[in-house]
Amino acid sequence: MEKRHTIEFYKKLGLKITPQRLAILEYLENNRDHPSAEDIYNALKDRFPSMSFATVYNTLEVLMEKGLVKELGIDSSKKRFDPVVHTHHHFICKKCGRILDVERNFEITIPPELKDCDIVDFQVVFSGFCPNCKNK
C-alpha cells in the first residue's frame, strides 16, 4: 500500500471494488497515522453517508488477509491499522495515542528459549510522550 495501486491491482487480488471501498483504499495509501477503523469511518462518512462501519471493518479484514494491511495491537484502547507492511517499529504516545514509525534495523539475538521456533518477525515498541504531550 505504499505506492499507488490501481483499480486493476485490487481487482486482480479478487477485491470487489465499490466507490466506498476505493475511498478506504485511497485513505490508507501513504497513511502513516496508524488509524483505527473508527478514524477511517469518521474521515469518510461525510462523503459516503450511506457507508456503514461494517464496510470499513470488512474491507480492513480483506486487506489483512491479502497482506496489504497489518493490525497493530500496541494501543490498548483500540486496534490500529498499518498499511506499511514491511518490518518496522513503533513509538506510541501514552497520552494522545499517536503512533510514529521507527524505520531502523535493531540487531537482536534470538533468545535461546525460542531456538525451536521459526521466527518470522519481531517488533520493537517504544512508549512515552510525544513532543506535543511531553511538556503538558
Binding span for Zn ion by CB under 5 A among 1-9, 14-22, 98-106, 115-123: 98-106
133 touches Zn ion by CB under 5 A:
yes
CA dist 22 and 102 (Å) reads: 28
Residue 117 annotated in ligand binding = no
Q: How far is CA 131 from the centre of its chain?
A: 22
- Told to check if 101 binds Zn ion by CB under 5 A, we report yes
Q: Quick check: 82 binds Zn ion (CB under 5 A)?
A: yes
Among 96, 114, 124, 125, binds Zn ion (CB under 5 A): 96
Q: Give the residue carrying C-alpha cell 486482480.
A: 12
CA distances from 61 to 22, 67, 106 (A): 15, 10, 29
Contacts of 123 (CB under 8 A, 6+ apart): 87, 89, 90
Nearer to Zn ion, 69 or 82 (CB): 82
Question: Does the annotation flag 93 for ligand binding?
Answer: yes
Return the exposure string of 29-42: e unless at least 16 CB atoms fall within 10 Å of the residue's CB, then b: eebebbbbbebbbe
**Is 96 annotated in some ligand binding site?**
yes
Distance in Å, CB of 12 to Zn ion, minimum: 25
Q: Which lies closer to Zn ion via its Cβ, residue 96 or residue 110?
A: 96
Residue selected from 12, 52, 95, 124 as contacting Zn ion according to rule CB under 5 A: 95
Residue 98 CB, nearest approach to Zn ion (Å):
5
